[in-house]
Amino acid sequence: MAKKEKNIDKKIIDNIKALAIDMIEIAGSGHPGIVLGAAPMLYTLYARHMNINSNDEKWMNRDRFVMSAGHGSALLYATLFAAGYNLTIDDLKNFRKLNSKTPGHPEYGVTPGVDMSTGPLGQGFATAVGIAMAERFLSTKYNEKRKGMFDQSKQLFDYNTYVLCSDGDLMEGISYEAASLAGNYKLGKLIVLYDSNNVSLDGNTNLSFNENVLKRFEALGWHTQYVKDGNNIDEIDKAISRAKKVLDKPSIIEIKTVIGSGSVLAGTSTVHGKPLTKDDINQLKENLDVRSIPFSMSNEASQEFRTMIASRSGKKYSAWANVFKEYMEKSSDTRKFELISLSKNNYDINIDLPKLMWQFGDDLKEPLRDTNGKIMNVVADKMFNFIGGNADVASSTKAYLSKYPAYTSSSYDGRNIFFGVREHAMGAILNGFALSGFRVFGGTFLAFADYLKPAIRMSALMNLPVTYIFTHDAINIGPDGPTHQPIEQLAMLRSTPNLDVYRPADAREIVGTWDAILKSTKPSVIALSRNEAHLLKESSMSEVNKGAYIVRKEVLRLTGIIIATGSEVQLAISVAEELYKNGVDLRVISMPCVEKFLEQPASYREELIPVGYKTIVIEAGSSAGWSRFVYNDNYLMTINSFGSSGTKEEVLEHYGFTVEKLKNNIEKLFR
């Protein structure tokens, strides 16, 4: 390599380092260690490999980059700025400030060029597996294989998914789960750069992390490489080039770096997350090819960097644009519609579910999970991008697209994903698909929702249309006992911002639930009973969208109100009928979605639950969150202890969820 090029590489890297250090300095917080250690690898990736277009940052076939070590945000922003994304020096100066384009950790939808929100270690790595899985689906489904029409070099989808991860990412269990799946699915276009510096937040990694990481990945079916000097960009470059050629295995490149390289604290955990002192910054900059003035990016450096990216990506972009054009001219209307939806990340696909659905016979009686499975199959036929799977419980949740094949390494366009018993990776992978234009679902038992909570939180934070289907939603599953009987999970889910939690009571409410979900871009949960349910006489599809509605009106004069959800709605109606015989005239409200109800105008809420009337809540789960509707805890017919093993009937009786017991308890409140 010519000397000038070597110098310009160093100059650009040094300018990026200096910018990021200035950002951390002005913010008074941030992570200099990763900036100084990993700048050369991130630079190499952008300068020599990433195919991107900062003028069309959502280009469908762009290479994706996930900064899984989200604490490297300053490094990422400085690199994106230098690469020509729509960021200014002022944006960099506002690092970590309120409403800035440069928040504390990368946030999806806030900073141009940021492909996902990261920060909780491990999530980025696992979500990138989902992004790489989505690429395989798209390329298998859309790349033209017919001879003569397109040649091999002309593909609609062939992007790479790159990840920068740290020790912490690889300590987290979720990265193992996802790496195991990535190996299983032979995700050759997934390339992970591992910033291996033997240091984490609390000290040297020899305190807690001594395994041979590459051997572990090799055992998982990955292609592994080792670069011994993280400053040697030619070696990093070559390793990435080799990884790109391995198409049947995901790749990890362990790159040895020194955390905080150049700082007086280099190699220590102190430099991980504390701004450098002024003296340290001064001595550091003296040794870098930069000016000492803060926030001064060399024009030459940024011009050269942008030219390197544009001269490679530009060719690829314009060739792709021609393929896209040609493809659109020759494709059926369906294909065109699909591609346009994907290109716009547009989820607004209208299905009039209530119209589509078969009419339920009044005598319908089947487990709600079965009904849900049928409805999902109707959705799948109408939505090309509806895909998902289960953490090894599809046979129990029935969340399965029976007409469609499995997603495997020989059928990437399959629509049923077998995640194995890996709930956490399932959630993150679903997020990766959703970030790639899909509407996705994932199923397990409600009691295990905690296993994927951090991924659900990321769906909610990024506002991704992921639907979590959690069956076996209450103690009434009986014999499996307290480990399998959810108590606090609904409260946990309902307390998550930007997540709609549905607990439908019958088939009609399930249709209404899907209808509401498909009209929204938010993530959602459907909690479903494993047990059989009758169709309720007064249930409604359309009212689900309001979150709550009357399923049994008072007969003569309103005495009080019962709010119930899911399986307990039928119980509440029976209790109300019994109490009516004793002169207590109750209204029963089904509340399939608390969040939706709370969003309704006050007039609707007060019409349903007028002020001044005694209100009772019946739900076979934690009382947390329900107090807002009642006078005091005596009005909460809920469960605040773990469940018990026994028959369904015994368990319900034990916790007071029978008509008789509820009737007695409620009657006392009206004496």
Ligand X SMILES: Cc1ncc(C[n+]2csc(CCOP(=O)(O)OP(=O)(O)O)c2C)c(N)n1
Residues that bind ligand X (CB under 6 A): 33-34, 69, 71, 119-121, 166-168, 197, 199-201, 259, 272
Residue 71 binding target from Mg ion, ligand X, none, CB below 5 to 8 Å by type: ligand X
508 is in the binding site of which of Mg ion, ligand X, none (Cβ under 5 to 8 A by kind)?
Answer: none
115 binds, among ligand X, Mg ion, none (CB under 5 to 8 A by kind): none
Q: Say whether residue 269 binds Mg ion (CB under 5 A).
A: no
| Complex with ligand X: residue 259 or 511, whichever CB lies closer | 259
Could you tell me if 44 and 10 are in contact, meaning their C-beta atoms sit under 8 angstroms apart?
no
Residue with smallest beta-carbon separation from ligand X:
168
> Which helix (DSSP H) or strand (DSSP E) does residue 323 occupy?
helix 299-330
Which whole-number Å values give the CA distances from 329 to 62, 299, 325, 333, in the listed order? 22, 42, 6, 10
b/e code 383-408 from CB counts within 10 Å (16+ = b): bbbbbbbbbbbbeebbbbbeebeebe
Closest by CA position to 415, among listed 387, 381, 393: 387
Which amino acid is located at 567 in the chain?
A: S
Nearer to Mg ion, 182 or 199 (CB): 199
* Nearest residue (CB) to Mg ion, 20 versus 60: 20
| Site residues (CB under 5 A) for Mg ion, limited to 38-67 | none
Q: Give the list of residues 6+ apart from residue 8 with CB closer than 8 angstroms, or none.
A: 300, 301, 304
Ramachandran region of residue 345, left (φ > 0), alpha (ψ -120 to 50) or beta? left
Closest to ligand X by CB, 154 or 274: 274
* 564 contact choice in Mg ion, ligand X, none (CB below 5 to 8 Å, kind-dependent): none
Region near Mg ion per CB under 5 A, out of 36-44, 189-197, 423-431, 616-624 = 189-197
For Mg ion, how many residues bind (rule: CB under 5 A)?
A: 5
Q: Are 132 and 189 in contact (CB under 8 A)?
A: yes
> By rule CB under 5 A, what string of x and - marks binding of each residue 191-230 to Mg ion?
------x-xx------------------------------
Partner that binds at residue 201, options ligand X, Mg ion, none, CB closer than 5 to 8 Å by kind: ligand X
Which residue has its beta carbon closest to Mg ion?
167
Q: Which does 33 bind (CB under 5 to 8 A by kind): ligand X, Mg ion, none?
A: ligand X
Cα separation of 655 and 651, whole Å? Answer: 6
Pair 96, 103: CB distance under 8 Å: yes
- DSSP letters of 122-164? THHHHHHHHHHHHHHHHHHHHS--STTTS-TT--S----EEEE
Q: Which is nearer to ligand X, 353 or 455 (CB)?
A: 455
CB of 275 to Mg ion, least distance (A): 18
Site string for Mg ion, 153-172 (x = CB under 5 A): -------------xx-----
Catalytic residue among 423, 543, 568, 578: 423
636: β partners: 617
Report whether 423 contacts 454 (CB < 8 A). no
Exposed/middle/buried for residue 274 (C-beta within 10 Å: 0-12, 13-18, 19+): middle
> Burial letters for 10-32: b for 16+ Cβ neighbours within 10 Å, e otherwise?
bbbbbbbbbbbbbbbbbbeebbb
254 is catalytic: no
Tell the smallest beta-carbon distance from residue 230 to ligand X (Å): 11
**What does 561-575 look like in DSSP terms, one character per residue?**
EEEE-TTHHHHHHHH
Of 431 and 485, CB closest to ligand X: 431
For ligand X, the closer CB: 31 or 316: 31
Closest CB 204 distance from Mg ion, rounded Å: 10
Cα–Cα distance for residue pair 231/281, rounded to 1 Å: 20
Least distance (Å) from ligand X to the CB of residue 31? 6
Query: How far apart are CB 171 and Mg ion at their closest, in Å?
Result: 9
Q: Which does 54 bind (CB under 5 to 8 A by kind): ligand X, Mg ion, none?
A: none
Pairing verdict, β 365-367 and 532-534:
antiparallel
Whichever of 201 and 340 has its CB closer to ligand X, that residue is 201
Among Mg ion, ligand X, none, the one that 113 touches (CB under a kind-dependent 5 to 8 A) is: none
Show the CA angle centred on residue 117, arms to residues 70 and 438, nearest 5°.
140
Number of other residues whose CB lies within 10 A of the CB of residue 190: 31
Q: Half-sphere exposure of 513 toward its Cβ, with a 13 Å CA cutoff?
A: 34
User: Closest approach of Cβ 139 to Mg ion, in Å?
Assistant: 34
- Give the binding site for Mg ion (CB under 5 A): 166-167, 197, 199-200
Q: Which residues are designated catalytic? A: 423
